[in-house]
Amino acid sequence: MSRIMMNKIQVFTVVALLQLQVSLAVCNKAGRADYSNSSPVELLQAYIQINTTTYNDLSDAVEFWRQLAALADVPINVYEIVEGFPIVVLKWAGTDSSQHSIMLNSHMDVVPAALEDGWTYDPFSGHIDENNFIYGRGTQDMKSVSIQYYTALRRLKENNVTLLRDVYMTLMPDEEVGAEAGMIPFLQSKEFAEMNVGIELDEGSSFPLPVIAVFYQDKVVWQIKVDCHGVSAHGSTFPATNDTATGKCRNVMNKFFEFRDEQYELAKVAPPNDAGGYTSININKINGGTANNVIPSLISLTIDIRLGTTVNEVQMDAKIRQIIAESGSNITFSYILKNPQSPATIVNASNPYWNAVNKAADELGVGLLATIPPGSTDARHVRNAGYPALGLSPMPNTELLLHSVNERLGVTTFLNGIDLYEKIIYYLATIPAEDTAEDGTEYLKVTAR
Ligand SMILES: *[C@@H]1O[C@H](CO)[C@@H](O)[C@H](O)[C@H]1NC(C)=O
Ligand SMILES: *[C@@H]1O[C@H](CO)[C@@H](O)[C@H](O)[C@H]1NC(C)=O
Ligand SMILES: *[C@@H]1O[C@H](CO)[C@@H](O)[C@H](O)[C@H]1NC(C)=O
Ligand SMILES: *[C@@H]1O[C@H](CO)[C@@H](O)[C@H](O)[C@H]1NC(C)=O
Ligand SMILES: *[C@@H]1O[C@H](CO)[C@@H](O)[C@H](O)[C@H]1NC(C)=O
Ligand SMILES: [Zn+2]
């Protein structure tokens, strides 16, 4: 390309950019929502109305947070480590930025939802019904928590409360599908390192009893795909069962079901707050076959395994290999997902961060229940990176509706959660400098044998 042409293109670009800016400004003046007088409930409704289904363009959500950051007069940064997946960070500065900070994490993305699935109100409406429930995808998982963090921080700021430690609100994309474009690369980034995190708070879950569940460890996910290759022939022929793809997969399934039955017995007697004591195994896909009268050459199984927290990874891998080997020849398998075991955050008086959360709950007369959930959250990646993490969503006495039809949250429960976070954040961000360890792994415990 010639220099003259280049200059022409540059001039053209500058003119085009100027025009674009002008039109954007006009558009902002006319179309930009103004949240300056919005109540916390209205903010939650507005956030629910932004359709952040995983893989959707998150620009509107980013713009929403830019406006809220401006209203609170705090700096905001947006990092796009993986193109199309913005990570949003709001910083609420404390008086001593050299101290370990408090990271309040939530994810922006939500799982799919549509009115046709049987919702009473549009899942992206934020409708409030006559019983004072806010309906919508994200009311439990976990847009409510993002607005609660934000409102609590704004109140602290407006009340001129001095915090010692920096507090960061981080908003992730891609949580619902494994965090490969969200938390996982963020933990490797220099921006994360510079935050000098002491404790991460992440999501928990609603709980049907009058207590708040606090997740201190997550079960990790292994997913495997098993391919059973066998003889392909006309549907009228009669090969030996163990030579057929279906026969081989039967053997694989029998052995996995044997393992499943054994673990199911353990799960039946596990306390409700401890899903860590068993490994869940579910065969979730069975694929194959070409025609009704052709014996298929290939049948595939996809198996979802959530490891018990004391399961040794090497032994589990060996067990899977043994099942495959004993089920017949020409069966292959590969890992779709194989998370390393994640340590537990220590939840006793030796952990000052845990003490701060407890103190806040005590003052409000709220019970906490340290729990290992059956599923997993972004916090497992954080603990694996060497930082203690606690998962809680302040939704006691609330039906478990994460990922469900008619996901909803009581307005009062939502508002009470703001009061709780105000205290949690205050106590966490004012832990004296000398009370916290330099190395976060001091508050982590490896439990896998
Ligand atoms: C929300 O986004 C999903 C995924 O792109 C889309 O399928 C769905 O139709 C959207 N829903 C609404 C109400 O816009
Ligand atoms: C906070 O400080 C500002 C500036 O000093 C003052 O105008 C405001 O009234 C204070 N707010 C409260 C709630 O004390
Ligand atoms: C088929 O394979 C399974 C698993 O290896 C084995 O237990 C069974 O005895 C075999 N059946 C026959 C008829 O060879
Ligand atoms: C294994 O499967 C492949 C692919 O279907 C086939 O070509 C091969 O002959 C099979 N080998 C045995 C030992 O069954
Ligand atoms: C806290 O738990 C850790 C790990 O289980 C244990 O080593 C430590 O002794 C406990 N400390 C207190 C004060 O209970
Ligand atoms: Zn979630």
| pLDDT confidence of residue 31 | 56
404 lines ligand 1 (CB under 6 A): no
Among residues 408, 398, 429, which one has the least CA distance to residue 210?
Answer: 398
175 is known as an active-site residue:
yes
Does 403 appear as a known binding residue?
Answer: yes
Q: Partners of 90 in the beta sheet?
A: 76, 169
53 lines ligand 1 (CB under 6 A): yes
- Pairwise CA distance, residues 174 & 194, whole Å: 22
Contact 300, 287 (CB under 8 A): yes
pLDDT above 70: percentage of residues in the chain: 93
Among residues 448, 222, 219, 225, which one has the least CA distance to residue 338?
Answer: 222
Residue 33 binned pLDDT confidence (cut-offs 50, 70, 90): confident
Residue 235's H or E segment, with its range, is none
Does 261 appear as a known binding residue?
Answer: no
Supply 22's token pair: 């002008």
Does 100 appear as a known binding residue?
Answer: no
pTM (global) more than 0.75:
yes
Q: How far is the CA of 282 from the centre of ligand 4 (A)?
A: 27
| pLDDT confidence of residue 19 | 39
What mean pLDDT value characterizes the chain?
A: 93
Kindly tell me if the per-residue pLDDT of 18 is higher than 60: no
- CB atoms < 10 A from the CB of 352, how many? 18
Ligand nearest to the CA of 121: 1
| pLDDT confidence of residue 434 | 97
Kindly tell me if the per-residue pLDDT of 49 is higher than 70: yes
- Per the listing, tokens 């390393």 go with 340
Residue 327's φ and ψ, nearest 5 degrees, are -90, -10
218 is known as an active-site residue:
no
Pocket test of ligand 5: the residue of 345, 346, 372 to mutate, having most ligand atoms within 8 Å of its CB, is 346
